[in-house]
């Protein structure tokens, strides 16, 4: 019989719905994909048993009250809620929930936050001296309120020992997939992702905004198709000259149109796309740097070094040490 992995997800008024249901669905599908071997058993805990209204207006049902959560836990998962003010969204930090997390966290093998739930972990002292992420819109709030925490607003999720923090909102799925991979191996998580028809699978260090999403939407289908071509042929000739030939435009006119449609020049766009691909390989593989450089189209390790320093301010080796997600 499989061992049971007991997962408790905190719920409270105005909690973000997907922060709760997204990870729960990932764990349920992991059970299905492994024929029950995963052994995940998810329970929702609230101030009291019964209905809890989410920020979406949909009601969840807490299986347990906070006081009923006892014994050893595999995972304590803390989602978040926001209040909207004149200065934009602010993470809600309920002191009663903070005190409960302080009490329960020592019983858990690992603790994870989703989105602005990181603010609750920080208030409970669980992030002191650690790197953490949260939704980009409240990262400044987290850094200002908790100077002992190294806040990085860019990654999708960050692991610091047995404490994981995830960005928002849909990144809760990526965080949950990473937890599954940590438990069951890298082969199970992609199977779950395929069932969810989602990206296989975004690694922790990947930016909350991928290269295409970080650029303004294009009004031209041919530019969108070219973006797809670039993503699929990073190891090919993506010079401005080669791309202009593909677009049947003069090099000068192509560069002007591309910048107009994307907000950046062709060479800068290609470099950013290659850096993003290199980050994924550095996170998820043990490939030597010369192969990473070749697969991503840098041509040499020196060019890979130079581009990573320019784009994200670090070296390939340092990046791999920080964000490596498999052993």
Judge whether 9 and 45 are in contact, CB under 8 Å.
Answer: yes
CA distance 174 to 167: 9
Judge whether 78 and 11 are in contact, CB under 8 Å.
Answer: no
C-alpha torsion 92→97→99→103, nearest 10: -140
Nearest one of 67, 74, 76, 3 to 34, comparing CA atoms = 3
Beta bridge partners of 109: none
Count, residues in the chain: 327
Which residues in 154-293 belong to E strands, given as ranges? 157-160, 163-166
Which residues in the chain belong to E strands, given as ranges? 5-10, 40-46, 50-53, 59-62, 64-65, 73-78, 82-85, 88-91, 108-114, 131-132, 150-151, 157-160, 163-166
CA distance 283 to 184: 18
Give the active site residue among 115, 172, 248, 296.
Answer: 115
Backbone angles phi and psi of 168, in degrees to 5:
-110, 175
Q: Name 37's Cβ contacts closer than 8 Å, sequence gap at least 6.
A: 2, 184
Query: Counting Cβ atoms within 10 Å, is residue 126 exposed (0-12), middle (13-18) or buried (19+)?
Result: buried
CA distance 217 to 152: 26
CA distance 52 to 48: 9
Helix axes 251-262, 221-232, angle to 10 degrees: 100
Q: Determine whether 115 is an active site residue.
A: yes
Backbone angles phi and psi of 207, in degrees to 5:
-60, 150
For the annotated catalytic residues, the residue numbers are 115
């Amino acid at each position: 019989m499989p061992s049971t992995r007991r997962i408790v997800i905190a719920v409270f008024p105005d909690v973000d719905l997907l922060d709760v249901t997204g990870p729960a669905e990932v764990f349920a599908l992991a059970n299905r994909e492994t024929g029950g071997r995963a052994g995940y058993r998810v329970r929702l805990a609230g101030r009291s048993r019964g209905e809890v209204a989410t920020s979406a207006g949909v009601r969840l049902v807490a299986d347990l009250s906070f006081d009923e959560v006892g014994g050893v836990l595999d995972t304590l998962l803390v989602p978040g809620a926001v209040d909207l003010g004149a200065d934009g969204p602010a993470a809600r930090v309920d002191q009663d929930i903070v005190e409960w997390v302080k009490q329960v966290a020592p019983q858990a093998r690992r603790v994870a936050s989703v989105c602005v739930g990181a603010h609750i972990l920080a208030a409970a002292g669980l992030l002191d001296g650690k790197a953490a992420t949260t939704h980009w819109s409240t990262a400044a709030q987290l850094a200002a309120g908790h100077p002992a925490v190294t806040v990085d607003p860019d990654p999708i999720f960050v692991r610091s020992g047995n404490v994981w923090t995830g960005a928002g909102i849909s990144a809760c799925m990526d965080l949950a997939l990473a937890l599954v991979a940590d438990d069951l191996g890298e082969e199970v998580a992609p199977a779950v992702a395929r069932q969810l028809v989602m990206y296989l699978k975004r690694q922790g260090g990947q930016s909350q905004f991928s290269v295409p999403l970080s650029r303004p939407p294009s009004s031209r289908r041919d530019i969108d198709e070219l973006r797809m071509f670039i993503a699929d042929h990073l190891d090919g000739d993506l010079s401005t000259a080669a791309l202009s030939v593909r677009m049947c435009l003069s090099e000068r006119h192509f560069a002007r149109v591309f910048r107009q449609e994307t907000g950046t020049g062709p060479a800068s766009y290609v470099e950013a796309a290659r850096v993003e691909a290199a980050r994924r390989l550095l996170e998820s593989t043990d490939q030597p740097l010369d192969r990473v450089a070749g697969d991503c189209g840098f041509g040499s390790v020196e060019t890979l070094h130079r581009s990573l320093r320019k784009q994200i301010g670090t070296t390939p080796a340092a990046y791999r040490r920080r964000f490596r997600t498999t052993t």
